[in-house]
Amino acid sequence: MIKKVLVANRGEIAVRIMRSCREMGIRTVAVFSDADRTSLHVRYADEAYHIGPSPSSDSYLSIEKIIRVAKQSGADSIHPGYGFLSENPEFVKRCGRAGIIFIGPTAHAMSIMGDKITARDTMINAGIPVVPGTKEAIHNEKTALKFIQETGFPVIIKAAAGGGGKGMRIVTERSNVTAKLRAARSEALNAFGDDSVYIEKYLEFPHHIEFQILADKYGNVLHLYERECSVQRRHQKIIEETPSPFITPELRERMGQIAVNAARSVRYEGAGTIEFLVDKDRNYYFLEMNTRLQVEHPITERVVGIDLVKEQIKIASGEKLTIKQKNIRQTGHAVECRIYAEDPERNFLPSPGLIKHITNPTGLGIRCDGYVYEGYEIPIHYDPMISKLIVWAENRNEAIKRMKRALYEYKITGIKTSITFLSRVMDIPEFIEGNYNTHILDNNRDLLKSRDQRCDILCEDIAIIAAYIDYTDKLNKLKPFRQDRSNGNSHWKGYGRKRNSVRI
Residues found near ligand MV4 in the complex (CB under 6 A) = 131, 156, 164-165, 200-203, 206, 208, 232, 235, 277, 438
Please state, in angstroms and as integers, the Cα–Cα distance from residue 323 to each residue in 211, 221, 226, 256, 483, following that order. 17, 10, 17, 16, 77
232 vs 290, beta carbon nearer ligand MV4: 232
CB-based burial label for 477 (10 Å; 0-12, 13-18, 19+): exposed
| CB of 161 or CB of 315, closer to ligand MV4 | 161
For ligand MV4, the closer of residues 170 and 459 by Cβ is 170
* Residue 167 beta carbon to ligand MV4: minimum distance, rounded to whole angstroms: 10
Tell me how far, at minimum, the Cβ of 201 lies from ligand MV4, in Å: 6
Cβ atoms of residues 63 and 80 within 8 Å = no
CA pair distance 205, 194, nearest whole angstrom: 29
Helical H segments across 102-174, by residue range: 107-114, 116-125, 141-151
Taking the complex as a whole, the smallest distance from the CB of residue 212 to ligand MV4 amounts, in Å, to 18
- Give the H or E element holding residue 74: none
Q: What's the closest the beta carbon of residue 277 comes to ligand MV4, in angstroms?
A: 6
Expressed in percent and rounded to 5, the helix, strand and coil fractions of the chain are: 40, 25, 35
Give the integer Cα–Cα distance in Å for 226 and 395: 16
Whole-number CA gyration radius for the chain: 26
Alpha carbon of residue 88 to chain centroid = 18
H or E element, residue 443: helix 440-443
Residues 349 and 342 sit within 8 Å (Cβ to Cβ): yes
Least distance (Å) from ligand MV4 to the CB of residue 116?
A: 9
**Least spacing, CB of residue 42 vs ligand MV4, in Å:** 32
Shortest Cβ 164–ligand MV4 spacing (Å): 5
Q: Least distance in Å: CB of 184 to ligand MV4?
A: 12
Phi, psi of 183 (to 5 degrees): -65, -45
Q: Helix or strand or coil: residue 46?
A: coil
Task: Return the number of the residue (167 or 370) whose C-beta is nearest ligand MV4.
Answer: 167
Closest CA relative to residue 266, chosen from 90, 443, 435, 89: 89
Q: Which residue, 235 or 451, is less far from ligand MV4 as judged by CB?
A: 235
Buried b (16+ CB within 10 A) or exposed e, 168-202: bbebeeeeebeebbeebbebbbebbebbbbbbbbb
Residue of 426, 430, 448 whose CA lies nearest to 347: 448
Residue number with CB closer to ligand MV4 (76 or 226): 226
Least separation in angstroms between residue 235's CB and ligand MV4 is 4
Tell me the angle at which helices 396-409 and 419-426 cross, rounded to the nearest 10 degrees.
Answer: 150
The CA distance from 27 to 46, in Å, is 6
Catalytic residues: 292
Of the pair 203, 315, the CB lying nearest ligand MV4 is at 203
- Residue number, 28 or 242, with CB nearest to ligand MV4: 242
Contact of 196 with 137, CB cutoff 8 Å:
yes
Q: Which is nearer to ligand MV4, 105 or 162 (CB)?
A: 162
Contacts of 403 (CB under 8 A, 6+ apart): 335, 337, 389, 391, 426
Q: β-pairing, 333-340 with 342-343?
A: unpaired
Residue type, 406: A
